[in-house]
Amino acid sequence: MRLRAYFAERSIARRLFLSAAAWIILVLSSAGVLLSAYYRATAERSFDDRLGVYLRALVADVATTGDDQGSDPGALGDPQFELVLSGWYWQITRLDSEKPDIRASRSLFAARLPKLADLGVPPGVGGARSGSALGPDGRMLRIVERSIAVGDQGLYLVQVAAATVELDAQIARFEIALAVTFALLAAGLLASTAFQVAFGLLPLRRLEAAIAGVRRGEADRIAGAYPSEIAPVADELNLMISASRDVAERARTQVGNLAHALKTPLSVIQNEIAEAPGPVSDKIREQTTIMRDQVSYYLERARAAARAGAIGAATDAAPALEALVRTFQKIYREREIVIAAPPEGARFLGEAQDFDEMVGNLLDNACKWATRRVEIACVVEPAAAGRSALIISIDDDGPGLAENLRAEAVRRGRRLDESKPGSGLGLSIVSDLAGAYGGALTLEASAADGLRALLRLPAV
């Protein structure tokens, strides 16, 4: 699986390997074609040289003995010229008489050899010709021929031919051996290329693992030594991570300062109007309370957005949930709060205080409305693009909420029942915080006919 990941579609490793493989196949194929052609030419030339020896012997015999004495085929020293249609033939044809006189080896029987001159084969050095033609038995022949003039005795065409079966078999054996050798060579080169590509890109895999470790909160920077081509990338990423954390920290500081600057005057106004009761004072108190809630809401959203943009934050789900349950068990002693054990290693990809804010608001809301029991479950499920999701469900056995009111409940400042304390911002804060992290909050009916809050968050 790891090797398959290296050569996945649209990867650098795949492009490097395919380009190298194409070049290897092109070079080896071209070399194979050239070597095969060279060997074929060499084998044919060697075969022609062998035939040329017999041709020169016949030419010498004709030149010394003349037509009237004839030529002794046994003088060629090869018994194949004596066997009928053996594939080895010689033929002597007188060209200057009205009726050509033809003498041939016994192997040719009553058949005749074709003339290369009639087939358009050009003469070579010394006037000799060599070429291929179809023989009397349907086999392809390699023929060499030469015309000689023997004084007053006439003009003769001397031919020697042999079937190319042996030659073709020899060439085929060489081509098979060459193909097997080059195939093994190609396989070895491709294997070494794949290893080189995988080994060469190994630092990128190490960098990927280091970045994933920072994203999961296992490290605060990219550590380790990298090759000179990748080291600048790692350094720039470390600077970007550091800058992200600095931006988030400055945002927290500025938001805190703004919260203090706004809440203090609002508290002074409320204290002042408390000493002067009346309709106007009540109206001012109502509006300042709304202002304080709105300031708290938007400051919390700004703080959460800054934290969500930070890199490398991660929170263990199990200890955070257990701490929240202990807190609310003390606050709501009459409620039975049950928590199912989260999966081992379940982690939220974000700040701990945001996790406490979201789950704490949902747990507080469930405890307010529950008749007696609140259940919490936490699971990790795979999500798209290889990312996991942390799903936290909080069920209560309270009166529940009608389906048409569930979307209204998460709107900012909406309180569907004034009998319970609160500002109506809890669920909307949870929804906004979850959205800042790429998650979501949904409400649905629980198994106990109460309300179930499903909080979906990114997981490590």
∠ CA 66-69-74, nearest 5°, is 105
Residue 184 C-beta-side C-alpha neighbours within 13 Å: 5
pLDDT at position 13 is 82
What sign has the CA pseudo-torsion 281, 284, 290, 292? negative
Q: Which residues contact 294 (CB under 8 A, 6 or more apart)?
A: 413
Residues of the chain with pLDDT under 50: 1, 68-71, 73-74, 413-424
pLDDT at position 185 is 95
pLDDT at position 8 is 55
Quick one: angle between helices 231-274 and 279-308, nearest 10? 170
∠ CA 330-332-333, nearest 5°, is 65
Is the distance from CB of 363 to CB of 426 less than 8 angstroms? no
pLDDT at position 273 is 76
Residue 246 CB neighbours (<10 A): 11
pLDDT at position 36 is 94
CA dist., res. 347 & res. 319, Å (int): 10
pLDDT at position 209 is 84
Residue 239 backbone dihedrals phi, psi, to 5 degrees: -65, -40
pLDDT at position 416 is 43
pLDDT at position 413 is 47
pLDDT at position 385 is 56
Q: Are strands 155-163 and 336-339 parallel, antiparallel or unpaired?
A: unpaired
pLDDT at position 437 is 81
Give tens-digit pLDDT for 45-81: 898 888 888 888 888 888 776 554 444 544 566 788 8
pLDDT at position 173 is 95
How many angstroms separate the first and last alpha carbons of the chain? Answer: 21
Of 255, 351, 354, 344, nearest to 312 by C-alpha is 351
Residue 240 C-beta-side C-alpha neighbours within 13 Å: 12
Q: Which residues contact 123 (CB under 8 A, 6 or more apart)?
A: 117, 129
pLDDT at position 27 is 94
CA dist., res. 3 & res. 53, Å (int): 61
Give tens-digit pLDDT for 130-151: 888 888 888 888 889 888 887 7
pLDDT at position 305 is 57
Of 417, 405, 306, nearest to 369 by C-alpha is 417
Q: Whole-model pTM?
A: 0.53
